Structure 1
Amino acid sequence: MRSWRLPLAVIALLGQGVVAAPAAAAGAHGRTWANPVDIDYRYNYEQMNDGVSYRTGADPAIVRFGDAWYLFQTLADGYWRSTDLLHWQFVKPDRWPFDGPVAPATLVADGKLFLMQSAMQPVPLLYSTDPAHGHWKFWTRMLPPVPGATWVGHESEMKPGDLPPGPWDPGLFRDEDGKTYLYWDSSNIFPLYGAQIDLALDHASEGEGKRVSFVSKPQALLRLHPEEHGWERFGQDHTDNTVAPYVEGAWMNRHGNRYYLQYAAPGTEYNVYATGVYTSDKPLGPFHYAPYNPIGYKPGGFVVGAGHGSTFEDAYGNSWNTGTMWVGVNWKFERRIDLFPAGFHADGQMWVDTRFGDFPQRMPEHKLKPGESTFTGWMLLSWHKQASASSQLPGHGPAEVTDENPRTYWVAASSAPGQTLTVDLGGERTVRAVQVNYTDYKAGRYGDAPDIITRFKLEGSSDGSHWSTLADLSHEQRDRPNAYVELDRPARIRYVRYVHVHVGARHLAISDLRVFGNADGDPPPAPELVSATRDADTRNADIVWKPVPGAVGYNVRWGLAADRLHETWQRFADQPTQLRLRALNKGVRYVVAVEAFDEAGVSVLSRTATLDP
């Protein structure tokens, strides 16, 4: 993650026709989720001096410790715990000498969970054997400086050959032989670095000051090559050639005998923020660029952005990859967290599946078979549907809540209980889930407070006059800025109504009220792929297809082979049926196809076309 400030110094220790779901149980025991991940994103106090108030979450590091998973992220006054990867409980630690850690790194070793924050100056390394209860201790109060690093006010002042201070955006990795490695940096000038370190686990009694040391000198491992890799180019849709892209967010995994060094590029404040990977047979390289990059990429849809996260396994051995979603309403670094299925092919190719990545997904309770999808098949029913509200502020009407854009939003004239927001689905549909996405419009909140909780009811109707409860969250005890509610039973309804109870912000503002389920009928036919043409600059290609009547949208899919179309760019039907694709690697042959989707389901794929290098 590219940060906007240096960490603060270490501080002192602290401290009708409606099938209604049971109100309290709705969404409580479901096995599905939808991105962004439904957690209580914290209000960011960092921009208080500028009067900018917003919730945010970024740079997720998820690690399993014991029987639970722990989620750490940027600028949070604690972390989250889950035993099922669906329901997350915030943990307030008893010892937290960070002013909200930035881009933290985690490591499980020797029965301990370690936590390191980004740093440009010495900071503590914490560990816990009881993170469920927030108990932490110092492993060392002061990390050693990076050997050979030069301290300067800004990296632009550094000379060629200088090593920047750090470790900023750190990643920790413990290999099977017990050796520990540190990877780091976030820069559009310098590369990612790596070094072997010693945590002194076998002689911890020597004392805090001797518990961390560098075993090897830092070495440059990888840097960006946007002249070869189209997806590494900066800007919205990779169109800004005036700014050098950023490489950041190192994360290492070992699969078999191969090491996968993951990195983020080109910038967290754009839709194309993505994850790439280099591979090696050694933890410090030499590393080789993967031709199937990027692996985590989601430039279209409601959720955009998939860079800077972590890769981990669930209890069944399924792999998952987290990333950072760009919101950018109140500030360019306003973000959320997303979660996608991931894995490795038999030949070692790593993949992350972002197709329908912001539609409901089912959390598996078994080891997934090759090619088995977690997508529920519940389709978006609310896109461009008519919406009405009890009140509104000028310029922020209810039509904004069905446009699938988190950067437009409805604002009620009052945040008092009883305000309503209603979506007309245009006919009876089978509704299975609803997602309420709030916006911080002049929220005026910073940090934490007891009243920062989200409460509402969801109601359904077939005629717009007789209403039944779909879900009752009027007694919710946590903040849910992106509340996803899976109904216990499907509801056959035409209207969905949000009834307000409480929100911790100054205003009631909702960017999107997203309704999922299925309409009657068959899925749409496959679109006709008209052409797929690669430019003289082979980083770019134009994909053209014919519109499908009644389609809600399309997925342009590409990859190295017809059975490996792992990359997806989602487009809605109000956009041109042509995509200017600027994310290709020079020298790599691609296969491309298009599918259509509507409220009933998803088409089969179009014919495939080849994009020769």
Structure 2
Amino acid sequence: MPHPCPVRFRLALALLMAGGLAAPVARAAVDPHARTWANPVDVDYRYNYEQMNQGISYRTGADPAVVRYGDAYYLFMTLADGYWRSTDLVHWDFIKPDRWPFDGPVAPATLVADGKLFLMQSAMQPVPLLYSTDPAHGHWDFWTRLLPPVPGAVWAGHESEMKPGDLPPGPWDPGLFRDEDGKTYLYWDSSNVFPIYGAQIDLALDHADEGEGKRVTFASKPRTLMRLHPDQHGWERFGQDHTDESIQPYVEGAWMNRHGDTYYLQYGAPGTEFNVYATGVYTSDKPLGPFHYAPYNPVGYKPGGFVVGAGHGSTFDDAYGNTWNTGTMWVAVNWRFERRVDLFPAGYHGDGQMWVDTRFGDFPQRMPEHKLRPGESTFTGWMLLSWHKHATASSQLPGHGPAEVTDENPRTYWVAAQSTPGQTLTVDLGATRTVRAVQVNFTDYKAGRYGDAPDIVTRFKLEGSTDGAHWTLLADLSHEQRDRPNAYLELDAPAHIRYVRYVHGHVGAKHLAISDLRVFGHADGTPPPAPELVSATRDADTRNADIAWKPVPGAVGYNVRWGLAPDRLHETYQRFADQPTHLQLRALNKGVRYVVAVEAFDEHGVSKLSRVVTLAP
């Protein structure tokens, strides 16, 4: 069967005095004016139970489609019984629509045209096309109850039974695009057999009174636009770190943007269930091509760190003209298609090269309220303070101790022996640090939930201490009214503390389980020195390169960075200091010249870059 993404059946005041305060200081639960965020995006991901025969229940979200409509942004994703609205891209509110004929839409597509917001889901058979002029209040209507079939599509029951040149039904993983001349285009497919297709469609916006059944027609025959070439493009190879060439990779998640006179056809590959799920792009001067492979691919790529995966998402502009790219993060605790959503700054160089910045993409980022200057970063500079720090808990289940919450791995986790209020989880930062933000990432361990319910909310407090005996309130979510699977809390003021303590209130699942309690801020002192890049050589298979560097004492980790030029090191592979200081990079394109460098980071900051080495084609 096709391999569609979802059916991959798919921190008053903080402590400011060195001695601490014995009594807690009251403060608001959440600062509504917070202007930072950290991936994964902090929304109330919905529970899914698609693997019913295995009794698996977990929160998930993938394939994000973000669109700006009016004065707000709307986020749609796979397997959600609604969508989210934001006016600042930081705070998101879930909206339950009044008309929702989808059983958790899959890989949805959005379009703003003629003052309307359109929504389409993936399909192998005719499905509705919805539209709204009031999405803020969840009001939707049918533009048409049944989309027309793809012209010339056939279906023999399985891809293996189809003949070369056959067109599969759909559109699966659709993408909608409205060009400046008013013409509308549809792009689609998710398969390791079939390519990405495109066609012009007519939404009858100028004559909608002709009747619902005539409002959508195909204005051109479907056209093959692009296929994967893993023999040429290393990053398109299947498997963890692109190591499985026995399986054909999947191409999916088409999304189109126009910048200037260039059309950017984006796609996801090679598979959503791996750390290397990425976004690539083909370009053209026409909306239906011919399209040309971009040598700087992949554009959205995050194979290392806490958040891994950046494929199958959307690209959009904010109110200030900044460009953003969304993607899909791989979690895979309960099921290999358990996922989250991430958000990264993006843009275009003057020569048209598209870029997505995932460097420190799971550390706190600042949301700008202005047009970013060329080269201006959204990274706050708040460093990870919790990595491999000693953690203790009030209770635990065997095999799931508190040490798991500081390893930067969402697939390992602490489970409390009971989920009763008052359970605690404490991280010792080793010395007094300046704490700026905390992210609490919950895990669904034998969750046993499905759908929505009033008790699916996340409530807890965060406390800080300098001595482990006297505690001050840092954040209070004890009256939270929504679920926070990846709760990110920016402190109202810096807290100078050594200990951070989670005090449990309530979770909607059967068990209290936390994968990582991530603490951000900085330690006094100077950043680490630049690492010494020992070697960077291309393999005989030029899709691969071997990169080695000397360890930097005290480093928390390293960023291996590469790109087409020293000022365009847009690709990053983050490695922590408990991993080897060498990397086989398997994401290169044959025939493309690259440059590579390495930087180190610790609790003080980020080093300068190592020397830059050229990787000849």
Aligned to 1:188: 192
> Partners in 2 of 1:145 and 1:26 — Cα distance?
48
Q: Give the 3-state SS of the residue equivalent to 1:165 in structure 2.
A: coil
- For each residue in 1:506-556, what CA deviation from the matched residue of structure 2 results, as whole angstroms up to 9, or x when unmatched? 000000000000001000000000000001110000000000000000000
Q: CA deviation at 1:153?
A: 1.8
Unaligned stretches of 5+ residues in structure 1: 8-15
Q: CA deviation at 1:241?
A: 1.0
> Which residue, 451, 476, 480 being the options, matches 1:472?
476
Aligned to 1:319: 323
- For each residue in 1:121-167, what CA deviation from the matched residue of structure 2 results, as whole angstroms up to 9, or x when unmatched? 00000000000000000000000000000023222221111001000
Is the 8 Å Cα contact of residues 427 and 500 (structure 2) preserved in structure 1? Answer: yes
1:89-168 alignment, distance < 5 Å: 89-168=93-172
Is the 8 Å Cα contact of residues 114 and 128 (structure 1) preserved in structure 2? Answer: yes
> Partners in 1 of 2:143 and 2:515 — Cα distance?
43
> Partners in 2 of 1:322 and 1:21 — Cα distance?
37
- For each residue in 1:180-217, what CA deviation from the matched residue of structure 2 results, as whole angstroms up to 9, or x when unmatched? 00000000001000000000000000101000000000
Is the 8 Å Cα contact of residues 21 and 488 (structure 1) preserved in structure 2? Answer: no
> Partners in 1 of 2:4 and 2:201 — Cα distance?
24
The alignment status of 1:536 with 2:540, answered yes or no, reads: yes
Q: Give the 3-state SS of the residue equivalent to 1:328 in structure 2.
A: coil
> Partners in 1 of 2:533 and 2:212 — Cα distance?
63
The alignment status of 1:335 with 2:339, answered yes or no, reads: yes
Q: TM-score, normalised by structure 2?
A: 0.97
- Which piece of structure 1 moves more, 27-36 or 119-128? 27-36
Q: CA deviation at 1:2?
A: 2.0
Is the 8 Å Cα contact of residues 62 and 341 (structure 2) preserved in structure 1? Answer: yes
Is the 8 Å Cα contact of residues 385 and 429 (structure 2) preserved in structure 1? Answer: yes
- For each residue in 1:230-267, what CA deviation from the matched residue of structure 2 results, as whole angstroms up to 9, or x when unmatched? 00000000000111000000000000000000000000
Is the 8 Å Cα contact of residues 6 and 120 (structure 1) preserved in structure 2? Answer: no
> Which residue, 23, 47, 71 being the options, matches 1:67?
71
Q: Give the 3-state SS of the residue equivalent to 1:132 in structure 2.
A: helix
Aligned to 1:579: 583
> Partners in 1 of 2:310 and 2:105 — Cα distance?
20
Is the 8 Å Cα contact of residues 22 and 488 (structure 1) preserved in structure 2? Answer: no
> Which residue, 215, 236, 240 being the options, matches 2:240?
236
1:74-473 alignment, distance < 5 Å: 74-473=78-477
The alignment status of 1:23 with 2:27, answered yes or no, reads: yes
Q: Give the 3-state SS of the residue equivalent to 2:371 in structure 1.
A: coil
Q: Give the 3-state SS of the residue equivalent to 1:537 in structure 2.
A: coil
Q: TM-score, normalised by structure 1?
A: 0.98
Aligned to 1:11: none
The alignment status of 1:46 with 2:50, answered yes or no, reads: yes
Q: Give the 3-state SS of the residue equivalent to 2:148 in structure 1.
A: coil
Is the 8 Å Cα contact of residues 29 and 480 (structure 2) preserved in structure 1? Answer: no
> Partners in 2 of 1:498 and 1:505 — Cα distance?
17
Q: Percent identity?
A: 85
Q: Give the 3-state SS of the residue equivalent to 2:520 in structure 1.
A: strand
Number of residues paired by the alignment? 605
> Which residue, 594, 598, 609 being the options, matches 1:594?
598
Q: CA deviation at 1:22?
A: 5.1
> Partners in 1 of 2:381 and 2:427 — Cα distance?
21
Q: CA deviation at 1:114?
A: 0.2
- For each residue in 1:261-315, what CA deviation from the matched residue of structure 2 results, as whole angstroms up to 9, or x when unmatched? 0000000000000000000000000000000000000000000000000000111
One-letter code aligned to 1:497: R
Aligned to 2:4: 2
Is the 8 Å Cα contact of residues 6 and 78 (structure 2) preserved in structure 1? Answer: no
Q: CA deviation at 1:27?
A: 3.9
> Partners in 2 of 1:6 and 1:324 — Cα distance?
13
Q: CA deviation at 1:4?
A: 6.2
Q: CA deviation at 1:47?
A: 2.5
One-letter code aligned to 2:539: D
One-letter code aligned to 1:223: R
> Partners in 1 of 2:590 and 2:526 — Cα distance?
40
One-letter code aligned to 1:465: A
Q: CA deviation at 1:6?
A: 10
Q: CA deviation at 1:46?
A: 2.2
Q: Give the 3-state SS of the residue equivalent to 1:423 in structure 2.
A: strand
Q: Give the 3-state SS of the residue equivalent to 1:195 in structure 2.
A: strand
> Partners in 2 of 1:368 and 1:22 — Cα distance?
36
Q: CA RMSD in A?
A: 1.2
Is the 8 Å Cα contact of residues 233 and 241 (structure 1) preserved in structure 2? Answer: yes
4+ residue segments displaced more than 6 Å? none
One-letter code aligned to 2:578: D
Unaligned stretches of 5+ residues in structure 2: 10-16
Q: CA deviation at 1:24?
A: 1.6
Is the 8 Å Cα contact of residues 25 and 488 (structure 1) preserved in structure 2? Answer: no
- Which piece of structure 1 moves more, 392-401 or 19-28? 19-28
Aligned to 2:615: 611
> Partners in 1 of 2:508 and 2:343 — Cα distance?
26
> Partners in 2 of 1:275 and 1:398 — Cα distance?
35
